[in-house]
């Protein structure tokens, strides 16, 4: 196990609703990255937080937002859910944002109906 935990494991929402996903980093890690993985595809980078500040963002609309807390845990918020948001959402933590390995949590499976 990586020491990275995510909650909830599964979630079902309806279109237009809002959702919050949570991630606890591995001890000693100050960087958290979030990814969206659609079925049968590779992960797509959403954004990264380094010491509580957003440090990079992929090609996702502003309705995808996040937070990192002083203990380096993190939240991913998605507003106005769309059917295409259905995916596995992965969180990864690392000691730094450049060379260190990212260790992944088990993911949250979001289904939007």
Partner 1 sequence: AQSVAQPEDQVNVAEGNPLTVKCTYSVSGNPYLFWYVQYPNRGLQFLLKYITGDNLVKGSYGFEAEFNKSQTSFHLKKPSALVSDSALYFCAVRDPGSNYQLIWGAGTKLIIKP
Binding footprint of partner 1 on the chain (CB under 8 A)? 2, 4, 33, 41-45, 48, 55-56, 58, 90, 92, 97-99, 101-107, 109
Least spacing, CB of residue 19 vs partner 1, in Å: 19
Nearest alpha-carbon partner for 112 in 12, 22, 36: 12
CB of 28 vs partner 1, minimal distance in Å:
16
Q: Which residues contact 91 (CB under 8 A, 6 or more apart)?
A: 4, 6, 21, 23, 32, 33, 34, 35, 74, 76, 104, 105, 107
Minimal distance in Å, beta carbon 54 to partner 1?
11
Q: Cα(29)–Cα(4) distance, rounded to whole angstroms?
A: 10
Question: Least distance to partner 1 from the beta carbon of 104, Å?
Answer: 4
> How many CB atoms lie under 10 A from the CB of residue 17?
13
Q: Give whichever of 48 and 81 is closer to partner 1, judged by the CB atom.
A: 48
Pick between residue 18 and residue 92 the one whose CB is nearest to partner 1. Answer: 92
Q: Which is nearer to partner 1, 47 or 72 (CB)?
A: 47
């Amino acid at each position: 196990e990586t020491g990275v935990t995510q909650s909830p494991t599964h979630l079902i929402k309806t279109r237009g609703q809002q959702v919050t996903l949570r991630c606890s980093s591995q001890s000693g890690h100050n960087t958290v990255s979030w990814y969206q993985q659609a079925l049968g595809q590779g992960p797509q980078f959403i954004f990264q937080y380094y010491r509580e500040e957003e440090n990079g963002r992929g090609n996702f609309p502003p309705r995808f937002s996040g937070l990192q807390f002083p203990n380096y845990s993190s939240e991913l918020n998605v507003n106005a859910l769309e059917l295409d948001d259905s995916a596995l959402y992965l969180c990864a933590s690392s000691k730094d944002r450049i060379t260190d390995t990212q260790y992944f949590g088990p993911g949250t499976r979001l289904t939007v109906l």
